Amino acid sequence: MLIDISRLLDRFARGRLPTGVDRVCLAYIQRWGEQSCATLQKGNWRRVLSRTSSQRLFDLVLNPPPDFAQRMNLAVAQACVPPWPSQQVGGALAWHLGQTGLEKPGFEQWLRRSQQRPLYFVHDLIPVTHPEYCRPGEDAHHHQRMALVLRTAAGVVVNSHDTRVALQGFAQAHGLPQPPTVVAPLAPAPLVCGSNATPPLAGPYFLALGTIEPRKNHLLLLNVWRELVQRLGAAAPTLVIVGQRGWECEQVADMLDRCVALRGHVKEIPRCTDAELAHWLRHARALLFPSFAEGYGMPLVEALSLGTPVVASTLGVFREVAGHVPDVLSPIDGEGWLQAVLDYTAPDSTRRPAQLQRMASFNLPTWDDHFGPVQELLAGL
């Protein structure tokens, strides 16, 4: 078996904390790394590594040391010293989990030349279905990726029925084959609260979690908070935004940097460890998740895993993942979100305790739940 780790190496070398996509890659390495070899891509350069070099790199990404970049560079350099392992892998199953390099010239030829049987994880089709929320040109790149997946896959894993429907629709619209596909839910990050039971803020606060980008709809929350401050003054709750600034977010950045009314009422945390995130989530009145589009919605599951209520947008995938546990609102219903924040802030709130009761019926997905359908897919191959 082969596992592409190009995305993990690139992100960890730049000091980035793992995203949901990265956590999927790490889970597959934990599951099958001991019996697998790694593949690497950089531009048009691609290589299947030896078992020894692969294990060295798998160990690095599973337990990244402070000098990760230095050790990674040394390990990759050693892997590139002759003699090299055969680059023809005789029909080995090959996981491509992060969608890295699928649109690059020569990728499909490399798959054929090396005799891989590729298996893909499709996280979403948002650049195709909602190009207005993505970087310019990303729709064309993702169109290339999805077309290649459908042409070449021995099998596909998706994170939700919603994503599978989108992939099937894409295949039908473009006359492409539909390879064997399974839906496998994602487990949340292992967020564990430490012994510190003191809330990180003295007053009530709400959390928004995710990269600051248009589809996450931070602008709605900032406008809601401006109205809250006008109504309540110093008694307004705090909005805590956990996530780095991304692309096409100038309006949000302007409000964060220049809106005087929000100062002292909005806290921005661009970098947060799992332990810190668990502490922030555990004590929040609710996670606010007003996205316009999601493939899965990992923050929702992470919040519920810690017993934190969620107010989310009316996306079908959120209902699929969490049933009727969260309160849901249209992502353009500003007054509705304002009222929800007021209700969840109030000491005598009825909506918050009601969700906590519903939460008792929520079954938290595990990685065993995820790998059950994946094993069935592999057995069929």
The full set of domains in the chain, from first to last, is 2-188+369-380 (3.40.50), 205-361 (3.40.50.2000)
Quick one: pLDDT band at residue 264, thresholds 50, 70, 90?
very high
Comparing CA positions, the residue from 95, 168, 154, 148 lying closest to residue 371 is 95
Quick one: pLDDT band at residue 52, thresholds 50, 70, 90?
very high
Asked whether the predicted pLDDT for residue 284 surpasses 90, the reply is yes
- Whether the bond between 83 and the residue before it is cis, its omega within 30 degrees of 0, is yes
Quick one: pLDDT band at residue 40, thresholds 50, 70, 90?
very high
Q: What is the pLDDT of residue 16?
A: 86
Quick one: pLDDT band at residue 216, thresholds 50, 70, 90?
very high
Per residue in 136-162, pLDDT (tens digit) is 999 999 999 999 999 999 999 999 999
Q: What is the pLDDT of residue 103?
A: 92
Q: CA 238 → CA 232, 331, 368, distances in Å?
A: 12, 20, 37
d(CA 54, CA 49): 6
Sorted by sequence, the CB contacts under 8 Å of residue 90 that are 6+ apart come out as 115
Full strand arrangement of the beta sheet holding 205-209: 266-269, 238-242, 205-209, 287-289, 310-313, 327-329
Q: What is the pLDDT of residue 308?
A: 96
Q: Which residue has the higher pLDDT, 296 or 100?
A: 296
d(CA 20, CA 5): 15
For residue 373, give both structure tokens. 């359908």
Asked whether the predicted pLDDT for residue 60 surpasses 90, the reply is yes
Asked whether the predicted pLDDT for residue 300 surpasses 90, the reply is yes
Alpha helices in 96-217 (DSSP H): 107-114, 126-129, 138-152, 161-173
Quick one: pLDDT band at residue 48, thresholds 50, 70, 90?
very high
Q: What is the pLDDT of residue 158?
A: 98
- Whole-number percent of the chain with pLDDT over 70: 99
Q: What is the pLDDT of residue 195?
A: 64
Asked whether the predicted pLDDT for residue 130 surpasses 90, the reply is yes
- Average pLDDT, stretch 213-218? 95
Asked whether the predicted pLDDT for residue 18 surpasses 90, the reply is no
Comparing CA positions, the residue from 206, 165, 108 lying closest to residue 317 is 165
Q: Answer whether 239's CB lies under 8 Å from 225's CB.
A: yes
Listing DSSP states for 10-53 in one string gives HHHHTTPPP-HHHHHHHHHHHHHGGG-EEEEEETTEEEEPPHHH
Q: What is the pLDDT of residue 34?
A: 95
Comparing CA positions, the residue from 306, 302, 311 lying closest to residue 336 is 311
The number of C-alpha atoms within 13 Å of 249 and in the hemisphere containing its C-beta is 22
Asked whether the predicted pLDDT for residue 288 surpasses 90, the reply is yes
Q: Answer whether 63's CB lies under 8 Å from 46's CB.
A: no
Sorted by sequence, the CB contacts under 8 Å of residue 260 that are 6+ apart come out as none
Per residue in 23-36, pLDDT (tens digit) is 999 999 999 999 99
Average pLDDT, the chain: 94
Q: Answer whether 310's CB lies under 8 Å from 287's CB.
A: yes
Asked whether the predicted pLDDT for residue 49 surpasses 70, the reply is yes
